[in-house]
């Protein structure tokens, strides 16, 4: 349950980042691991274009969509467990940081922003990618989906992490490439920035309510005015 009392510190400031499609280009690896799971159970494989459309609402929804959306929960559970296993134990050789992201993170950290990753990727997968790519940056919180954390656009996890960091929503930017990021920012009262180097079009993001856009990571500096 979200904490009732919001942070009162008016000086702390934060930037919350989505992970897939915002900080990391993960679709090639996700597609590979999804297809490994589908093939193992005898289901047709999917394309990178399919996975690009399917991601954004958590691994379970990814698997449901990859299976065609008409399979019983028992089948989804089985394929999801296999997918998580191969993903967690995979080397993710195809995953890369988007060009220009690391200098942005380093500068924001230098300027004193609290940095948060808020993703619908399972926590264990998230932790592995964070350790590989971003541990040296030193994020203040890394939140993935788990039994205790609901997927975006539910606002509970975002409200809780801002409370723990003593940052007001009005002093927070929420940066992501998906509809769920746009809606979460609105639900929490953060300043939303939709990025256009990820997995959704500007039109899709506008349909979700986005009004501020960044075409490349460097543009974020001109949009972050706290």
CATH code for position 60: 1.10.150
- pLDDT reported for residue 88: 87
18, 25, 29, 181: which is the annotated catalytic residue?
18
Last residue of a domain, one of 89, 122, 143: 89
Q: Are residues 162 and 207 in the same domain?
A: yes
**pLDDT digit string (tens) for 72-124?**
999 999 999 999 999 988 888 999 999 999 999 999 999 999 999 999 998 99
* Share of the chain residues as helix, strand and coil, in percent rounded to the nearest 5: 45, 15, 40
Q: For residue 131, how far is the Cα from the chain centroid?
A: 15
Indicate whether 7 belongs to any domain.
no
Peptide bond into 113 cis (omega under 30): no
18 is catalytic: yes
Indicate whether 80 belongs to any domain.
yes
- Distance between CA 180 and CA 196 in Å, rounded? 14
**pLDDT digit string (tens) for 9-41?**
558 999 999 999 999 999 999 999 999 999 999
> Where residue 57 falls among pLDDT bands split at 50, 70, 90?
confident
Predicted TM-score (pTM) of this structure: 0.89
Residue written as token pair 């979460």: 184
Residue written as token pair 């007001």: 168
Q: 180 burial class (0-12, 13-18, 19+ CB within 10 angstroms)?
A: buried
Q: Which domain holds residue 69?
A: 27-89
- Averaged pLDDT of the chain: 93
Q: Are residues 80 and 115 in the same domain?
A: no
Last residue of a domain, one of 69, 89, 109: 89
- pLDDT reported for residue 10: 59
Q: Are residues 109 and 83 in the same domain?
A: no
**pLDDT digit string (tens) for 124-133?**
999 999 999 9
Residue whose C-alpha is closest to residue 158's, from 10, 191, 213, 149? 149
Radius of gyration of the chain (CA): 17
- pLDDT reported for residue 69: 86
- Phi and psi at 198, nearest 5°, equal -100, -135
Name the strand (E) or helix (H) holding 164: helix 156-165
Q: Are residues 70 and 133 in the same domain?
A: no
**pLDDT digit string (tens) for 154-196?**
999 999 999 999 999 999 999 999 999 999 999 999 999 999 9
Q: Are residues 145 and 218 in the same domain?
A: yes
């Amino acid at each position: 349950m979200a904490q009732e009392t919001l942070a009162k510190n008016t000086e702390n400031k934060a930037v919350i980042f989505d992970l897939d499609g915002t900080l990391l280009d993960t679709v090639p690896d996700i597609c590979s691991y999804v297809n490994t799971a589908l093939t193992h159970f005898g289901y047709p494989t999917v394309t990178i274009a399919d996975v690009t459309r399917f991601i954004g609402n958590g691994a379970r929804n990814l698997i449901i969509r990859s299976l065609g959306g008409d399979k019983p929960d028992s089948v989804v559970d089985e394929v999801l467990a296999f997918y998580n296993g191969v993903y967690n134990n995979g080397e993710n050789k195809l995953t890369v940081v988007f060009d220009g992201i690391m200098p942005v993170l380093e500068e924001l950290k230098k300027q004193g922003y609290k940095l948060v990753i808020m993703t619908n990727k399972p926590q264990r997968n998230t932790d592995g990618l964070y350790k590989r790519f971003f541990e040296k940056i030193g994020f203040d919180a890394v939140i993935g989906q788990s039994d205790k954390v609901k997927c975006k656009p539910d606002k509970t996890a975002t409200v809780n992490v801002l409370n723990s960091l003593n940052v007001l929503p009005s002093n927070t930017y929420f940066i992501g490439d998906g509809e769920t990021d746009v809606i979460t920012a609105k639900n929490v009262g953060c300043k939303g920035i939709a990025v256009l180097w990820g997995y959704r079009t500007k039109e899709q993001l506008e349909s979700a309510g986005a009004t501020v856009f960044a075409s490349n990571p460097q543009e974020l500096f001109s949009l972050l005015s706290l």
